[in-house]
């Protein structure tokens, strides 16, 4: 475990909590979803280590054990992607595979526009938010209506505990049926307790309103898109399917009956597909 100073501010630095297995194999950086932490990758880290990879996870600023800036403007995708780039530089990571889950797919997409592919070997978009969540006149396929985005923000503002309880249930459900054990749901729910409310609200705005349609065509490395066909949080038709279509030569794996949280509900399938991709 270590800390990396991702941003040197005028008044304070922003430090990220990082866990690095230090293995000798090709590095894999796992970028967690909202509003969780790096602990949400617990079912993937051992499998990747066993396959010989160096595995790096970190808590996004505002979540888990990373610093939690109090200014909402600290949570734009440009800043979050700068955090990722700083991590790669500080650990001198090259020939890296980036795996972005849900909100984490946004950092993966934006990385290519901001920093190119010099350090990157391949990428994975897992249940990821690109290309553009918000339903607008110019983005009719966007799966998130503005009214629903406003409702989510209002619900989180009013009562964090109640909101997260419902959100995590939906996260792991398909058509109202929970696809994980109650113990697994509770584990994820516990991670939300580490989230800063300022960060959670600002990141909700970021993943709902950021347009990655110009970023995706710049992804010029081998790409895997993996998504559950029952995902009610980031629906496949409006996100994963479009991302696959936007990235030339990308591979697509659809998890049948998979909810949003497929890395937990379908961990064996997720790991198998991920390791097969990494092995090519």
Catalytic machinery residues? 102, 231, 260
CA 77 – CA 98 distance, rounded (Å): 16
CA angle 276, 96, 21 (to 5 degrees): 85
Q: At what angle do helices 146-158 and 197-209 cross, to 10 degrees?
A: 180
């Amino acid at each position: 475990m270590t800390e990396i100073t991702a941003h040197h501010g005028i008044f304070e630095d922003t430090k990220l909590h990082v866990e690095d297995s230090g293995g000798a194999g090709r590095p894999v950086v796992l970028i967690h979803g909202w509003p969780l932490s790096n602990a949400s990758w617990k079912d993937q880290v051992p499998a990747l280590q066993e396959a010989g990879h160096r595995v790096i996870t970190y808590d996004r600023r505002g979540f888990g054990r990373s610093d939690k800036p109090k200014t909402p403007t600290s949570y734009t995708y440009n800043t979050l992607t700068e955090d990722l780039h700083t991590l790669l530089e500080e650990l001198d990571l090259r020939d890296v595979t980036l795996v972005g889950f849900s909100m984490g797919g946004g950092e993966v997409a934006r990385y290519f526009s901001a920093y190119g592919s010099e350090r990157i070997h391949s990428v994975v978009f897992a249940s990821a938010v690109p290309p553009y969540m918000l339903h607008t006149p110019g983005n009719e396929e966007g799966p998130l209506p503005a009214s629903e985005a406003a409702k989510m923000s209002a619900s989180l503002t009013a009562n964090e505990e109640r909101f997260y309880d419902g959100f995590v249930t939906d996260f792991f459900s398909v058509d109202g049926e929970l696809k994980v054990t109650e113990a697994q749901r509770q584990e994820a729910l516990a991670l939300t307790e580490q989230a800063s409310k300022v960060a959670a609200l600002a990141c909700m705005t970021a993943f709902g309103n950021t347009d990655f349609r110009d970023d995706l065509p710049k992804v010029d490395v081998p790409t895997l898109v993996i998504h559950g066909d029952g995902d009610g949080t980031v629906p496949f038709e409006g996100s994963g399917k479009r991302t696959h279509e936007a990235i030339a030569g990308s591979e697509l794996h659809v998890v049948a009956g998979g909810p949003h949280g497929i890395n937990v509900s379908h961990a064996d399938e997720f790991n198998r597909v991920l390791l097969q991709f990494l092995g090519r």
